A and B are shown apart, each in its own frame.
Chain A
């Protein structure tokens, strides 16, 4: 496949903190981490998803003016960014593992209509749902 969505970004409050979270806690891998002056292009990848990158971007100059960056930081911190979904094979096992690693869970695993979902946040406030589909087998 050579066409498709390649990078989707989330805003984070601090690159290093986000990197530690997504790599050390969630088990993602760094795909690209390059700088141009103060600007840092940082993307990570799920280990089983080589064609997709999750970009970790800190809002600010030179891309955004300071006031806009401040607004975005507030929106991220109050958890108002759009939903993110992580597909997992075993939601309860992933929950136990991530929680033991210090991930901030907002919802314990719940089974609904054959799926199991749990909720967590990254340090910046981005909310993730972790969903295991089709457990009725």
Chain B
């Protein structure tokens, strides 16, 4: 086991959440909204910290205390959500989907997408395009899309590690 997966596991340990003032939470929400608004852009901690008026040193912890997920992983869920929407609703090439969703490498996109959703972008597109048509008249599309967001309760590295462990076991 390498260093990074040890760190990822450590992050998942339940922790008592600090009480945060509504004023702080409202400002942290602004950082979360910024990710939502432009998830394809780069969101280094410094930029997010500036949006919410929190020091760089405290930002990631404050964000996780508020929303239950580290900011970089929240960004990843939004990018995957965006990628799934583009795959489902457009005929853009997989390369274009990767770039428009915020990845700068097709390889990283394909690998991460598979780790999170369990299937390749191409397989996902084929399966979802057929199913989407039936749902969209019954729910406002913007909420339907949010409900398609991956529920990433563990780090991607950890998810990858567990998947390979399961494969080895089976």
Contacts and interface: CB of A to CB of B under 8 A. Distances in A.
Interface string B129-151: 00000001000111101000000
B101 to A, nearest CB: 15
Contacts of A115: 140-141
Residue with the highest number of chain B CB atoms closer than 10 Å, among A78, A112, A121: A78
Interface residues of A, number: 24
Interface of B: 20, 22-23, 25-26, 28-30, 32-33, 36-37, 66-67, 89, 136, 140-143, 145
Main SS at interface, chain B: helix
B67 to A, nearest CB: 7
Nearest to A129: B142
Nearest to B29: A79
B140 A77 contact: no
Nearest to A123: B26
B140 A78 contact: no
Contact of B32 (A13, A79, A117): A79
B136 A113 contact: yes
A107 interface: yes
B141 A74 contact: no
Main SS at interface, chain A: strand
A17 B37 CA distance: 25
Given A74-B25, A83-B143, A129-B143, 12 more contacts: A74-B20, A77-B22, A77-B23, A77-B25, A77-B26, A79-B32, A106-B33, A106-B36, A107-B37, A108-B37, A117-B142, A131-B140
Contacts of A74: 20, 22, 25
